[in-house]
């Protein structure tokens, strides 16, 4: 208690926090790059192989002492930028529900693997809020993926006066639009004078925004590219199938019309072939009576063989034509695809014509 009274001497009115920080800065500190590891909640991330834990511990002890001595006179204690000893620093107990803020910080880390450091002070020692926060982040060794929030509550001013600043490095991967929106929400919460609401609003906005981790944009681009390629491939396949189907339908329609035409003309050829056979058989009967020598007999035998082959070919034309379709000629139902029917009918046309022409050129004995 005696020590506290001595502090009230005007000579010691220099902010005690500055004296504590100056004393801590005199400690030998090896220059070691901090390693971003997440420690237990409210514990500063350890830095292996350095004197930083000692410095942090001394500063963590010096700050409460300095703040308590500075506040003994009822005035706000000036706090210059310092090395944050934890993710949540509220030495004066301004936050009504610090455990809720801690839980939100932990949830944000679990979702994004990012840390939001929150510090609540009542006097920035003449610094403007963004500069104070930037310097504190530098002294704390925060990395390019670490975020920071300072909430300033001026106990000397009217109750409810709160200001705040948010620092989001580009490497944190938070979209710029989300940062701007979160900053507007933080300003609105600060205007209502609730430090707890400021911290909760910042964490809620950042959690809603999420982060773009390295490679996320590339992965999304590749995913969408794969989707587009797949859609185009399916659409192309369907389009080709529809085109092929349309072409097939068109070709089948053309072949069907052609087959019906050939079927009609083949019917006429068959009738002519049958008439030619009947006439040839009649002429053979008459020629037999005119055979008088061996030469005439040989010619008769050749004519008879020609007629016999013509009868066989005519029978083949009848049989093959009947196998192509069902029903009457006026309502054909093809047993084979129209294209095959067209090819077969064309062959039968050729066979019927050649047979008929041989019968017309039949040589009989004079």
Q: Where exactly are the structural domains of the chain? A: 2-214, 250-360
pLDDT digits (tens, 9 = 90+) for 203-229: 999 999 887 665 555 666 788 889 999
The third-level CATH classification (topology) of the domain covering 2-214 is Diaminopimelate Epimerase; Chain A, domain 1 (3.10.310)
Count CB neighbours of 145 within 10 A.
18
| DSSP 8-state symbol, 51 | S
Query: For residue 64, is pLDDT > 60?
Result: no
Question: If DSSP codes are grouped into helix, strand and coil, which group holds residue 149?
Answer: strand
Asked if residue 41 has pLDDT above 80, the reply is no
pLDDT digits (tens, 9 = 90+) for 71-105: 334 455 788 999 999 999 998 899 999 999 999 99
Query: What does the pLDDT read at residue 156?
Result: 59
Instruction: Quote the CA–CA distance of 58 and 41 in Å, as a whole number.
Output: 19
Report the chain's terminal Cα–Cα distance, integer Å: 160
The predicted pLDDT at position 361 comes to 79
pLDDT at 29: 41
SS3 147: strand
Residue 158 clears pLDDT 90, i.e. is over it:
no
Structure tokens at 316: 């083949």
Of the listed ranges 41-50, 87-96, 105-114, 144-153, the least confidently predicted one is 41-50
* pLDDT tens digits along 269-309: 889 889 888 888 888 888 887 778 888 888 888 888 888 99
DSSP 10: G
Looking at residue 43, what is its pLDDT?
Answer: 40
Helices (H), 30-148: 52-71, 98-112, 129-139
Q: Record the pTM.
A: 0.44
Average pLDDT over residues 102-117: 93
C-alpha 77 chain-centroid distance:
54
**Whole-number pLDDT of residue 357:** 87
């Amino acid at each position: 208690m005696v020590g506290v009274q001595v502090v009230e001497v005007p000579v010691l009115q220099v902010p005690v926090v500055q004296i504590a920080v100056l004393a801590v800065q005199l400690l030998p500190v090896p220059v070691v790059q901090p390693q971003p590891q997440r420690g237990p909640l409210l514990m500063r991330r350890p830095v292996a192989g350095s004197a930083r834990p000692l410095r942090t511990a001394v500063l963590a002890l010096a700050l409460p002492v300095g703040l308590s001595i500075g506040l003994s006179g009822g005035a706000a204690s000036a706090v210059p930028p310092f090395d944050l000893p934890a993710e949540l620093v509220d030495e004066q107990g301004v936050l009504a529900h610090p455990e809720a803020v801690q839980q939100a910080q932990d949830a944000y880390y679990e979702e994004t693997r990012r840390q939001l450091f929150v510090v609540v002070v009542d006097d920035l020692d003449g610094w403007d809020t963004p500069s104070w926060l930037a310097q504190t982040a530098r002294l704390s060794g925060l990395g390019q993926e670490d975020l920071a929030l300072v909430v300033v509550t001026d106990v000397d001013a009217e109750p409810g006066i709160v200001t705040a600043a948010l620092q989001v490095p580009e490497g944190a991967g938070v979209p710029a639009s989300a940062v701007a929106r979160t900053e507007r929400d933080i300003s609105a919460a600060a205007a209502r004078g609730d430090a707890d609401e400021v911290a909760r609003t910042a964490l809620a906005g950042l959690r809603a925004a999420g982060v773009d981790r390295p490679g996320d944009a590339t992965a999304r681009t590749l995913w969408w590219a794969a989707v587009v390629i797949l859609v185009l491939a399916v659409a192309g396949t369907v389009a080709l199938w529809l085109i092929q189907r349309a072409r097939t339908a068109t070709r089948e329609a053309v072949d069907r019309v052609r087959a019906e035409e050939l079927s009609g003309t083949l019917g006429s050829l068959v009738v002519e072939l049958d008439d030619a056979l009947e006439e040839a058989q009649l002429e053979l009967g008459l020629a037999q009576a005119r055979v008088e020598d061996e030469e005439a007999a040989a010619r008769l035998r050749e004519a008879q063989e020609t007629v016999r082959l013509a009868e066989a070919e005519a029978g083949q034309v009848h049989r093959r034509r009947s196998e192509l379709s069902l029903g009457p000629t006026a309502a054909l139902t093809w047993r084979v695809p129209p294209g095959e029917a067209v090819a077969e009918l064309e062959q039968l046309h050729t066979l019927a014509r050649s047979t008929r022409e041989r019968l017309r050129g039949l040589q009989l004995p004079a």
